Structure 1
Amino acid sequence: MDAIDKKIIKMLSANARESFANIGKSVDLSAPAVGKRVKQLEDKGYIKGYSLQLNYEKLGYNTRAYINLKIHQSSTLRTAYNQIRGFDEVQRCDRISGEDSLCILAYFKSNKDLVKLLERISQYGVPNTRIILES
């Protein structure tokens, strides 16, 4: 990866929908040349994909929380991880080191919905919840 590739990645990180023509102007390449470089960056695994960033508050999700889960000894971590990361409310589920086994980021329309998720995941372990006040 050279300096041009790094600039292309920086521009796409800021706006994944940026046109190859605009990127090309900034790196002194044609749009097709930028497209070829982006394809190579994808093929080599530097670019894993593109995502959509939503305004969850406008969509009615007013409660956001981090939930650390300390897995019960009788539960298997892999099963809990695979199940929980598939729940609709869960935006992210990471296996972590330390006393807790999982760190979950989830969005909810209300605190009642948060309580429902906590009840569902309690079969796997003991949750420790932190509601996000501002980000």
Structure 2
Amino acid sequence: ELGKKLFVSGGTIHVRIKKLHEMGVIKGTRLQVNLRAIGYDVLAFIGIYLEKSSLYENVAKQLLKIPQIVRLNYTTGSYSMFAEIICKDSGELRKILQDDLQHIKGIERTETIISLEESFSRPINVSEVM
């Protein structure tokens, strides 16, 4: 598909993509999954306040053990960390908030924001950057 758009062979595209992987420019590829179609109805964001910023790495390691947390960022502003979480239902979200997050040493408190709808999600247009 890229080859057709760029008027080069598929093999050329394959070689260039392989080089970009080796250089670390491309970290991987993803499928865009319709989460509701596979039973995940709750997407939320959790603002996490840490007792001390020096606890970030230890807390991040503990959060990595919770498979429903799909993205974690170290942030400036109100929160120390900002996590994206995907759950099957509000009960699963409540369980994670009460049973898992509350027992992680270093988390002072959290604020949860539930997404009602994703308007769009798009990758950066690489052709304009390079």
CA–CA distance in 1 between the matches of 2:59 and 2:76? 15
Q: Deviations over 1:62-112 (max 9, x none)?
A: 111100010124982211111113311111111111231110110111211
Look up the match of 1:18.
Answer: none
Which of structure 1's runs of 4+ aligned residues deviate more than 3 A?
none
| Alignment of 1:133 onto 2:116 | yes
Query: Counterpart of 2:31 in 1: which secondary structure?
Result: coil
Any conservation in 2 of the 1:24–1:31 contact (CA below 8 Å)?
A: yes
CA–CA distance in 1 between the matches of 2:79 and 2:63? 15
Bigger CA drift: 117-126 or 73-82?
Answer: 73-82
Query: Counterpart of 1:46 in 2: which secondary structure?
Result: coil
Structure 1 alignment gaps of length 5 or more: 1-21
1:43 to 22, 27, 30: 22
| Alignment of 1:99 onto 2:83 | no
Query: Counterpart of 1:122 in 2: which secondary structure?
Result: helix
Look up the match of 2:101.
Answer: 121
Query: Counterpart of 2:35 in 1: which secondary structure?
Result: coil
Query: Counterpart of 1:57 in 2: which secondary structure?
Result: helix
CA–CA distance in 1 between the matches of 2:15 and 2:65? 35
TM-score (norm 2): 0.78
Instruction: State the 1:25 CA deviation.
Output: 2.2
Instruction: State the 1:28 CA deviation.
Output: 1.9
| Aligned sequence identity (%) | 27
Q: 1:73 to 1:39 in 2, by over 3 A?
A: closer
Structure 2 alignment gaps of length 5 or more: 119-130
Query: Larger Cα Rg: Structure 1 or Structure 2?
Result: 1
Look up the match of 2:124.
Answer: none
Look up the match of 1:10.
Answer: none
Look up the match of 2:89.
Answer: 110
Q: Deviations over 1:28-76 (max 9, x none)?
A: 2122222111111212222111112211111111111100010124982
Any conservation in 1 of the 2:21–2:27 contact (CA below 8 Å)?
A: yes
1:79 to 33, 58, 74: 58
